[in-house]
């Protein structure tokens, strides 16, 4: 259905190709645990061998055939092409050497300095594996470099290496949750060297949901609390990067907020703009007393920083979120499948795209499902066009509403299908 719930009229004139070039701005991958050994310094091989003997895979979807989707290059390429996707941005997924859990969602405080050093070597091994993995399919994978924030000099050295190594996905910015011992992102002077390096290198700064939440326990209640709050913790980075002056002082830096939903953005921009206005003009108020100096020092209001420097990695975007595209910015939205996670739109991405983007001008859809990500991450659309011509979703089909009988069995796993009759209430 269209934004107003009506059946779409005739599709607007479209002089583009018959199929969309789809770039998933949110995929995940990593090496099988033993693959990382070759990427560690030889001095650590014996220690790695001892560690891996006692290592147990903590996530069922990293086992067996499902796990292979993370590191089997040919399998992965087939899966994505079957799903209508021709290129991808790859966030981490597997567990790096010496880590207890996946590094995307958990960088716990080290037990001691030696443990911290080991985990850093493990992350670097992952980065080098990722560079080789992306090189297997030139022009179709943008790998993201991981760093730790405990040693900024080492982090900066690593992102410089990543730029040279061809990891075009940019930097994965870890969260700084309470209790982590890390300096909060709103401390500009502390992180200034990192922002300067990222701006100089011209790389995007990605913030994925998961890493900003405080540590949780293992009870069912802990897990439900995590699920209901994890995105909120991630959203805070947007505010912190504004109030710190980071966006103001580094206007060329581009920030990506991925797998955090889309609907929160217009409301958060309105809320922050309201406070900016009060802090700037409401003489005599508490807001003015505490905030006028900071607001007066900045060039823009929060919604304008969003429009200039921010993007949303819109994983399995819902129809209601697509209806907010003008408030978010059509040029800011980057669709993602979240492959190979349980909630991913794979293998139903063609239907998910049709459900979400039917009745929307194809020029806007082309931007949101591929063009925006290609521009930010440096994919060559001309290079991808022949592949998309073979496997991409048909523009004319995406324009049409998804019929209830065409909703695939098993679609309930993916949030994109929430509210579809017969799928979920």
Question: Class of the 23-417 domain?
Answer: alpha beta
Average per-residue pLDDT for the chain: 93
Residue 115: pLDDT band with limits 50, 70, 90: confident
Contacts of 173 (CB under 8 A, 6+ apart): 185, 205, 206, 207, 237
Which pLDDT score is estimated for 419?
A: 85
pTM for the predicted model, two decimal places: 0.94
- If one compares 112 and 157, the residue with the highest pLDDT of the two is 157
Flag whether pLDDT at 422 surpasses 80. no
Q: What share of the chain is helix, strand, coil (3-state, %, to 5)?
A: 50, 10, 40
Task: Tell how strand 141-143 and strand 145-146 pair up.
Answer: unpaired
pLDDT beyond 70 at 192: yes
Q: Which of 273, 336, 328 is nearest to 301 (CA)?
A: 273
pLDDT tens column, 132-166: 999 999 999 999 999 999 999 999 999 999 999 99
47-74 pLDDT tens trace? 999 999 999 888 888 999 999 999 999 9
b/e string for 363-401 if b means 16 or more Cβ within 10 A?
ebbbbbbbbbbbebbebebeebeebbeebbbebebbbeb
Better-scored residue on pLDDT, 215 or 105: 215
What percent of the chain has a predicted confidence (pLDDT) above 90? 85
- When pLDDT is averaged across residues 96-104 and rounded to a whole number, the result is 86
CB 316 within 8 A of CB 336: yes
What's the pLDDT at 109? 56
List the domain boundaries for the chain: 23-417
Find the mean pLDDT for residues 3-31. Answer: 86
214 has pLDDT over 90? no
User: In this structure, what are the phi and psi dihedrals at residue 28, rounded to the nearest 5 degrees?
Assistant: -135, 150
Residue 107 has pLDDT above 60, yes or no: no
CA distance 193 to 380: 30
């Amino acid at each position: 259905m269209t934004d107003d719930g009506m059946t779409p009229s005739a599709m607007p004139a479209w002089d583009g190709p018959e199929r969309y070039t789809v770039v998933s701005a949110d995929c995940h991958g990593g090496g099988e645990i033993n693959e990382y050994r070759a990427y560690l310094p030889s001095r650590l091989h014996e220690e790695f061998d001892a560690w891996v003997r006692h290592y147990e895979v903590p996530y069922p979807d990293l086992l067996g055939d499902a796990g292979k989707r993370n590191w089997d290059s040919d399998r992965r390429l087939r899966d994505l092409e079957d799903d209508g996707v021709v290129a991808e941005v790859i966030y981490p997924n597997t567990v790096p050497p010496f880590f207890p859990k996946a590094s995307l969602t958990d960088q716990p405080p080290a037990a001691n300095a030696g443990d911290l050093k080991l985990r850093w070597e493990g992350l670097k091994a992952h980065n080098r594996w990722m560079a080789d993995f992306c090189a297997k399919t030139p022009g179709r994978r943008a790998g993201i470099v991981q760093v730790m924030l405990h040693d900024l000099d080492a982090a900066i050295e690593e992102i410089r290496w990543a730029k040279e190594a061809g990891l075009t996905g940019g930097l994965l910015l870890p969260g700084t949750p309470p209790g982590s011992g890390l300096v909060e992102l709103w401390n500009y002077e502390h992180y200034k060297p990192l922002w300067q390096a990222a701006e100089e290198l011209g790389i995007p700064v990605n913030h994925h949901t998961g890493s900003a939440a405080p540590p949780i326990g293992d009870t069912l209640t802990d897990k439900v609390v995590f699920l209901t709050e994890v995105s909120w913790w991630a959203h805070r980075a947007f505010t912190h990067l504004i109030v710190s002056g980071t966006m103001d002082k580094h206007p060329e830096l581009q920030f990506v907020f991925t797998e955090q939903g889309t609907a929160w953005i217009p409301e958060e921009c309105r809320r922050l703009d309201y406070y900016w206005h009060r802090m700037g003009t409401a003489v005599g108020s508490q807001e003015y007393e505490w905030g006028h100096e900071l607001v007066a020092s900045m060039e823009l209001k929060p919604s304008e920083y969003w429009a200039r420097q921010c993007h949303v990695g819109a994983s399995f975007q819902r129809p209601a979120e697509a209806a907010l595209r003008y408030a978010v910015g059509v040029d800011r939205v980057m669709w993602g499948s979240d492959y190979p996670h349980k909630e991913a739109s794979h293998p139903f991405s063609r239907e998910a795209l049709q459900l979400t983007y039917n009745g929307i001008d194809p020029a806007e859809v082309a931007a949101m499902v591929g063009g925006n990500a290609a521009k930010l991450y440096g994919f060559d659309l001309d290079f991808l066009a022949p592949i998309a011509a073979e496997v991409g979703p048909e523009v004319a089909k995406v324009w049409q509403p998804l019929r209830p009988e065409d909703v695939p069995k098993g679609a309930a796993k993916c949030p994109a299908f929430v509210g579809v009759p017969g799928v979920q209430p």
